[in-house]
Amino acid sequence: MAGNRFGTLFAVTTFGESHGPALGCVVDGCPAGVPLELEHIRSALRRRRPGSGGASTARAEADEPELLSGVFEGKTLGTPIAVLVRNTGSRSEDYDNLKDCYRPGHADWTWEAKYGLRDHRGGGRSSGRETLCRVAAGAVAAQFLSRYGIVIRAWSSAIGGITAAGMDDPAFSLDEAEANPLRVPCAQDAARIAERISALRAQGDSAGGTVSCAVTGVPPGLGEPVFGKLDALLASAMLSIGAAKGIEFGAGFGAARSTGSAQNDRLMPTAERLPSQAPAARYETNNAGGVLGGIATGMALLFTVAFKPVPSITRAQKTIDRTGAEREILIKGRHDICVVPRAVPVVEAMAALVLADLMLLRRADRHQPC
């Protein structure tokens, strides 16, 4: 495991520093014959770009992708699909004053402790800009998954201490989440959160929050025991996103406070049968969040990811420099106040990569000869 690759069969390798010449990804293992156009990737990247909701950075690059390989006449070839995005809008000089000191809450010091040197400009490879590669790769995965009817939708479920309407709330609307720049699934909640963000911005502060995600169309049986459990892989995928600090599936930490009689999802009678001979899945409730024993139940897959507040705040902060001496720094550059709205497509992309990989593994281990 050299750390810049994700997946076993549907595997992506990403590369690129925030202020280097370019970023990109290579998707290795996408089957041949999947319809894929540059526009699929372009529109996914557009969704990741800074919005106008007040929570986003002012760095607005075109992020125009180039498809270098793996597609011929509108279809994947079964060969590696390389996508390239050049860095054009980087203002490295914003980081000159940070060259020799370590920003609190960032990976500056840890990377230098690890490698002995670093590209200090904008966090180098530990920058949130790295997620661009994930979104590009996720767009390819989503194209593959769409053929199976698997649909992945994420949204901002809480920001700055304000929790938005949940899935069971009549006010919950995924269309609304797509319509407002904060990706909050309820217009009223979005307005309250926007106010909270404005207040934090005025105070030179930042906000954390959570992204929730629902995946429908997941075939029962997906997931690889024991260590390749569906939830284990998703947890690894989500915690690999820069600012993520936690994840929970279904009732999650709430289940930990609850009892078995309240948590067990009841299997309901059904006449339908799966190819594997088991009766088709129908659960009365979904506390499990769509996964039991690491294997998909066929119910919607549900999980929530916690993101810490953006560490780049505009207040003066104390830290140290390379000599170990105390320094006070003021962070310039263009930064989000809250990473959550822009994390939404990243969460979706990582989920797509996990599911695409597991779908290929599932095709591999079907017990009947083909």
Interaction residues for a second copy, span 134-153 (CB under 8 A): 147-148
Under the criterion CB under 8 A, does residue 5 sit at the interface with a second copy?
yes
CA dist 73 to 79, 80, 317, 352, Å?
A: 14, 15, 54, 24
Q: CB of 306 within 8 A of CB of 244?
A: yes
Nearest distance from C-beta of residue 213 to a second copy, angstroms: 14
**Positions in 205-234 near a second copy (CB under 8 A):** 205-210, 220-229, 231-234
**Positions in 22-51 near a second copy (CB under 8 A):** 22-24, 26, 28-29, 31-34
Under the criterion CB under 8 A, does residue 97 sit at the interface with a second copy?
no
> Which of 58, 60, 191, 268 touches a second copy by CB under 8 A?
268
Nearest distance from C-beta of residue 355 to a second copy, angstroms: 13
Residue 154: CB atoms within 10 A of its CB come to 25
Phi-psi region of 291 (alpha: psi -120 to 50; beta: other; left: phi over 0): beta
- Tell me the DSSP string of 315-336: S-EEEEBTTS-EEEE---S---
> Which of 53, 122, 250, 333 touches a second copy by CB under 8 A?
250
Under the criterion CB under 8 A, does residue 202 sit at the interface with a second copy?
no
Under the criterion CB under 8 A, does residue 364 sit at the interface with a second copy?
yes
**Positions in 316-345 near a second copy (CB under 8 A):** 317-320, 322-326
The residue among 88 and 276 lying less far from a second copy, judged by its C-beta, is 276
Q: Which residues pair with 26 in a beta bridge?
A: 13, 82
> Which of 185, 298, 341, 345 touches a second copy by CB under 8 A?
298
Under the criterion CB under 8 A, does residue 52 sit at the interface with a second copy?
no
Distance (Å, whole) CA 277 – CA 184: 41
Q: CB of 303 within 8 A of CB of 249?
A: yes
Among candidates 220, 218, 225, 155, which has minimal Cα distance to 190? Answer: 155
